[in-house]
Structure 1
Amino acid sequence: MKPLTKHIPNLNPKFFWDFKFDKIDWDGGYKMVIGRIVERGGQDQIDEIVRFYGREKVIRTVRDEISFLPNYAIEDALKFFPELEKEEMYCYLNRKDKPYHWI
């Protein structure tokens, strides 16, 4: 029988103050976890989510799946992951402060 040990990333619960930390679905909620850490974490937390999820999954999630990050978090993501380009990031293309035609 397979042991029921749960693997979780080594992250401080303060990043998830609005969740029951022991009830977080780390696999199913990866977009929330990655987005939260990119927005509020530092290099140590980024290294931990890369270790936990893998660099490719984190980069793909930041580039293609996260629909909103504040402008400062977009800039931080570019520093954390130099292979990203701002113009490829869905959250950059989807931001609310971009100019648009009023008609």
Structure 2
Amino acid sequence: MDFNKAYKTIIARIVERGGQQEIDEIIRFYGYDKVVTAIRDEIYFLPNYAIDKALKFFPELKKEEMYCYLNRKDKPYHWI
């Protein structure tokens, strides 16, 4: 797996399933700015609980600015 090409997927999964130690590791590997930018502007989908976790880990993020939140707002999801 190329960790640089798959950074969006890796960051999304760590936010979704990881804890503070894993968040610290992706920040060390990718850099704080790249992680925050990916969460805010590039990740297409995160479940509600993962969005809440991201807001807890990165206090400068706002739910209303996150692409994954804006993309799903007021849309029904048939698979959930």
Aligned partner of 1:88 in structure 2 is 65
Aligned partner of 1:21 in structure 2 is none
Aligned partner of 1:49 in structure 2 is 26
Paired letter, 2:48: N
Higher RCO structure, 1 or 2 (CA under 8 Å, sep 6+):
2
Aligned partner of 2:78 in structure 1 is none
* Aligned partner (choices 29, 36, 40) of residue 59 of structure 1: 36
Q: Number of matched residues?
A: 75
- In terms of fraction of residues, the more helix-rich structure is 2
Q: Secondary structure at the match of 1:67?
A: coil
Aligned partner of 2:74 in structure 1 is 99
Matched, 1:79 2:56: yes
Paired letter, 2:5: G
Which runs of no fewer than 5 residues in structure 1 stay unpaired? 1-23
Cα deviation code 1:35-80 (max 9, x no counterpart): 0100010000000000000000000000000010000000000000
Considering only aligned residues, what root-mean-square deviation do their CA atoms show, in Å?
0.9
TM-score under structure 2 length normalisation: 0.90
Q: Secondary structure at the match of 2:3?
A: coil
Which runs of no fewer than 5 residues in structure 2 stay unpaired? 76-80
Paired letter, 1:43: Q
Q: Map of 1:22-33 to 2, 5 A cutoff?
A: 24-33=1-10
Paired letter, 1:47: D
